[in-house]
Amino acid sequence: MKAQKSPPKRILIVQTAFIGDVILTLPLLQEVKTHFPDAEVDFIAIPSSKNILENNPLIDNLYIYDKRQRDKGIAPYLRLIKRLRGRRYDLALVPHRSIRSAGLVYAAKIPRRIGFDKSSGRFLFNTLLPYPRNVHEINRNLRLLTPLGIDAEKKVFPEMHFSREDETAVQHWLAEKKLGGDQKCIAFAPGSVWATKRWLPEHFAGLAERLTKKGFHIILIGSAQDRETTAKIAADNSHVHDAAGQFTLRQSALLIKQCRALVTNDSSPLHLAVSVRTPVIAIFGATIPAFGFYPYGENDRVVEIDGLSCRPCGIHGGNSCPIKTFDCMVKITPERIEKELEAQLSAKH
C-alpha cells in the first residue's frame, strides 16, 4: 500500500501585490487553516497591507517586505531568504506572479512550491497550475490548493479581524456625526491609484445630491491622497461626511459595514465591502470584470458601458484616457447608479 503523505507542518503564503490582492488572498489563508489546522502558516506582504494582516489569528508570522523602499536591493532580499530558510517550510503557495516572489520560495529551499504558469518565475516552482481566465480572483487563488485535494470552486468570503480600538474609533466618529441608530447611510469610495478607474467627482457629487434629497447620508471612504476629490464631492452638502484619510483599512471596513451599500470604483474599498458583506455597486471603466476582481457578493452589481471597443485599455488602468474621450466613465450617469442602487436595496429586503 502506498504511504500517505503527511500534512504540511509549516506553510508560507506570498502575496506582495496591492491591498485588494491581499484581501482576495485571505480566503486562501482561511482554507489552508481549515484543512491544516495544526500547521503554522506564515505570510509575506508589503507595508501597505500590514493593517489587514497584523492581527489575523490565522497567521503565525507576518513578514513585511518593503520591496520598493527599505528592503529594495539584493542585501535585504538575501536576509529575508535566510530567515525563511531557517523556518524550514514544507509548502509554499504563491498567488503573486513575479519572479521575485518565486525566487524567494525557491532560494528558501521549500520542497513543495505551488504557483501559476503565468508567473515570470514559473520555472522555479515544482507544482505549476494553469492561470485560469474569467474566474474570480478568490477562486483563482484557491486553485493553488487543488494539488492538495482541496475544492477550489466553493464560495469563500474574505474575513477581516477587528480590534477593540477599531470599533471604538469608528463608533466615536459616527457619534460625532450623529450617524448612529436609524440613519440611512451609503458609502462612496471615489478614489483609485489609476485615473482611468475613477468615476468623475462631479458624478459622485450629483449622485450624492440625489440620494441626500431622499434622506440618505453619504460617507466618503478613502486615503489621505483622495482628500482633494472627496472635498469636491462633499462641498455644499451637509449630509455628505468626509472620512477620507481618517481611518485605517480595517476601520474603513468597519465604517463600510455600517452602511447600506457602497458605491465604488474598481479599487480596494470594493473588496473591503465584500469582506464585511456590505452590498456593492462597482463602477468599471478602464478595466473589466473578466479580469476577476469584480464584487463577490450575490447582491453586488457592476455598472459599465458595454460595446466600447477600447475597453479594457490596461490591466490596472492608466493616468489618462488613451483616446481622450473617457466615455467609459463620462457616460455612466448619476441617474443610472441611483437606479441600480434602488434596485439593489429593494432586492435586499
pTM, whole model, 2 decimals? 0.94
Tell me if 61 is assigned to some domain: yes
Regarding whether 289 and 186 lie in a shared domain, the answer is: yes
Q: Identify whether 110 is part of a domain.
A: yes
For residues 217 and 291, membership in a common domain is answered with yes
Q: How far apart are CA 38 and CA 41, in angstroms?
A: 9
Judgement on whether residues 271 and 245 belong to the same structural domain of the protein: yes
Residues 89, 122, single domain; the answer is yes
Q: Are residues 38 and 181 in the same domain?
A: no
Report d(CA 9, CA 73) in Å as an integer.
Answer: 31
- What confidence category does residue 178 fall into, taking pLDDT thresholds of 50, 70 and 90? very high
Same domain, 197 and 239: yes
Position 4 in a domain = no
Domain check: are 59 and 188 in the same one?
no
Q: What grid cell was written down for 200?
A: 468623475
Taking only the tens place, the pLDDT of each residue in 68-97 is: 899 899 999 999 999 999 999 999 999 999
Residue 3: is its pLDDT beyond 60? no
Residue 154 falls inside a structural domain: no
> Does any domain span residue 157?
no
User: What CATH number should be reported for the domain holding residue 215?
Assistant: 3.40.50.2000
Answer yes or no: is pLDDT of 348 > 70: no
Same domain membership, residue 295 and residue 211: yes
Do 76 and 199 lie in one domain? The reply is no
% pLDDT > 90, the chain: 93
215-255 pLDDT, tens digit each = 999 999 999 999 999 999 999 899 999 999 999 999 999 99
Indicate whether 46 belongs to any domain: yes
Domain match, 210 and 109 both: no
State residue 180's pLDDT score.
76
Domain of 45 in residue numbering reads as 10-148
* Mean pLDDT (the chain, rounded): 95
Other beta carbons less than 10 A from residue 111's beta carbon? 11
Helix 249-257 vs helix 164-176: angle between axes, to the nearest 10 degrees?
Answer: 60
Contact 255, 6 (CB under 8 A): no
**Residue 18 carries which side chain, given as an amino acid letter?**
F
Q: Rounded to an integer, what distance in angstroms lies between the CA atom of residue 238 and that of residue 320? A: 32
Which are the contacts of 135, defined by CB distance < 8 A and separation ≥ 6? 143, 292
Determine the 3-state secondary structure of 196 from DSSP: helix
